[in-house]
Amino acid sequence: MSELRSVAFNLVFLVPKVGGGSERYAHELIPAMLAARPGLRVSAYVNKDADAALRSQPWAGEVEWVRLPVRGLSRPWRLLAELAGVPAVAARRRPDVVHSLGSVAPPLLPRAANVLTLLDVIWMHHETMSRISTLSMRVLGPLSARRADRVITISEAAREDIAQTLGIGREKIDVTHLGVDAGGRHTPPPGDVRERLRIPAGPIVLSVGAKRPHKNLMRLIEAVPEISADPPPVLVLAGLSTPHEAELRDRARELGLSERVCFLDHVDEADLEALFAAASCFVLPSLQEGFGLPVLEAMSRGVPVASSNSSSLPEVAGDAALMFDPTDTSAIAKAVERLLNDGDLARRLIDAGHAQAERFTWRATAEATLASYERAMAA
């Protein structure tokens, strides 16, 4: 097997503040890999929209940037660039590995090992994108996975789902858990986050994530009236707005919760740090997650966590969170109520959460990814 000298990241799919978990994954994996393997030549293939945002990162000077002539917001052209443009560029530049981080990889890479990251296949089970995007992913995702030399995913639960749903052999799928930023990199801005973001009074129950149906925020909202606490808590839902948010807002109004449920769109890193600092507890009620990084982010910041017991979340949370059945609204309410009212429990979970979060590092993610590259080159 030849030595790994160069890797090209296919980031043509990436659109700033729209990529969600994929965007965070790219922003953390690349610098961790540069640190883990000094001397590795790293390049990144990007679209016009992502170029400026990525090149402003502190590590950008260590990466060779190749901009393809497509706009990130134009999905048809972007897919064409991933399927045809990336192989053409790779054939000229000859990296040892091309790693596609956005669930779609070129079907042919004659001069490089072909590695694909599928963070999850939730889009095969739930409505997470537009109808046309879902249809294209249901064709291109399985095709990409079958043609890749290695498939990387981010939890054992996701590997099992990919294997069963797409019919991919488990032996071809590598698990590289995500890492967590231990906090302190982003300083909360001065002033009261409540005033700045117009959050009503009361203990903050924080949930972070795009407002999509599988995130199960409807049941979380419906649990709020059942939470007995003095003073009553305010639920803060921070994350990308989607068409589903209108349904969530309507339900909050129907339940008379307009002053107890606060909807925030995508918030910057500094405001997110401020929200974690102000939160009394964190809750993730998802029906399915590929990993569930916000759970670890809350733990690393000393916020007690209540979490769904489905898919990857027990794997990530371990015994450091209060787990509940996400289909049981009363169970969600009871878990949040316990965190708000039982100080001893909250303190035990905070201590356990710090220890759990320390087990997950981006350096470990990078090392596991490099091992996957070597398997792909040997295929």
Model pLDDT for residues 297-307, shown as the tens digit of each residue: 999 999 999 99
Q: Per-residue pLDDT for 24 more than 90?
A: no
Secondary structure (DSSP) of 304-373: -EEEE-STTHHHHHTTSSEEE-TT-HHHHHHHHHHHHH-HHHHHHHHHHHHHHHTT--HHHHHHHHHHHH
Domain extents in the chain: 6-179+361-378, 193-357
Q: Per-residue pLDDT for 115 more than 90?
A: yes
Please tell me the predicted confidence (pLDDT) of residue 75: 76
- Section 32-36 average pLDDT: 96
Distance CA 314, CA 166 (A): 23
- In the beta sheet, which residues pair with residue 7? 42, 97
250 by DSSP, 3-state: which?
helix
Backbone angles phi, psi at 318, to 5 degrees: 60, -135
Q: Which of 37, 129, 1, 322 is nearest to 140 (CA)?
A: 129
- Section 22-30 average pLDDT: 90
Structure tokens at 236: 């803060």
pTM here is 0.92
Structure tokens at 6: 């160069």
The domain at 193-357 falls in which architecture? 3-Layer(aba) Sandwich (3.40)
Please tell me the predicted confidence (pLDDT) of residue 111: 86
Q: Which band of pLDDT confidence, cut at 50, 70 and 90, is reported for residue 110?
A: confident
Place of tokens 């749903």: 165
Q: Per-residue pLDDT for 94 more than 80?
A: yes
Place of tokens 């293939």: 45
Please tell me the predicted confidence (pLDDT) of residue 187: 59
Q: HEC string of 185-231?
A: CCCCCCCCHHHHHCCCCCCEEEEECCCCHHHCHHHHHHHHHHCCCCC
- Section 245-255 average pLDDT: 98
In tens, the pLDDT along 203-241 reads 999 999 999 999 999 999 999 999 999 999 999 999 989
Identical fold between 6-179+361-378 and 193-357: yes
- Section 321-345 average pLDDT: 98
Distance CA 276, CA 188 (A): 10
Average pLDDT for the chain: 92
Backbone angles phi, psi at 150, to 5 degrees: -140, 150
Structure tokens at 77: 């052209």
Higher pLDDT, 191 or 110: 110
Please tell me the predicted confidence (pLDDT) of residue 225: 97
42 by DSSP, 3-state: which?
strand
Structure tokens at 207: 């949930």
Q: Which band of pLDDT confidence, cut at 50, 70 and 90, is reported for residue 356?
A: very high
Of the listed ranges 83-92, 264-273, 280-289, 354-363, the one predicted with least confidence: 264-273
Distance between first and last Cα of the chain:
9
Distance CA 342, CA 338 (A): 5
Higher pLDDT, 149 or 269: 149
Q: How many other CB atoms are there within 10 angstroms of residue 369's CB atom?
A: 23
User: What single letter denotes the amino acid at residue 358?
Assistant: E
Distance CA 283, CA 305 (A): 6
CATH tag, 6-179+361-378: 3.40.50.2000
Please tell me the predicted confidence (pLDDT) of residue 19: 60
User: What single letter denotes the amino acid at residue 201?
Assistant: A
Of the listed ranges 6-10, 38-42, 129-133, the one predicted with least confidence: 129-133
Q: Which band of pLDDT confidence, cut at 50, 70 and 90, is reported for residue 18?
A: low
Contact yes or no for 225/240 (Cβ under 8 A): no
Please tell me the predicted confidence (pLDDT) of residue 184: 47
Please tell me the predicted confidence (pLDDT) of residue 38: 95
Q: How many other CB atoms are there within 10 angstroms of residue 157's CB atom?
A: 23
Q: Per-residue pLDDT for 190 more than 60?
A: no
Q: Per-residue pLDDT for 72 more than 80?
A: no
User: What single letter denotes the amino acid at residue 223?
Assistant: A
Of the listed ranges 120-134, 141-155, 162-176, 317-331, the one predicted with least confidence: 120-134
Q: Per-residue pLDDT for 42 more than 50?
A: yes
- Section 278-289 average pLDDT: 97
Please tell me the predicted confidence (pLDDT) of residue 71: 82
Contact yes or no for 167/145 (Cβ under 8 A): no
Structure tokens at 358: 């320390």
Distance CA 288, CA 206 (A): 18
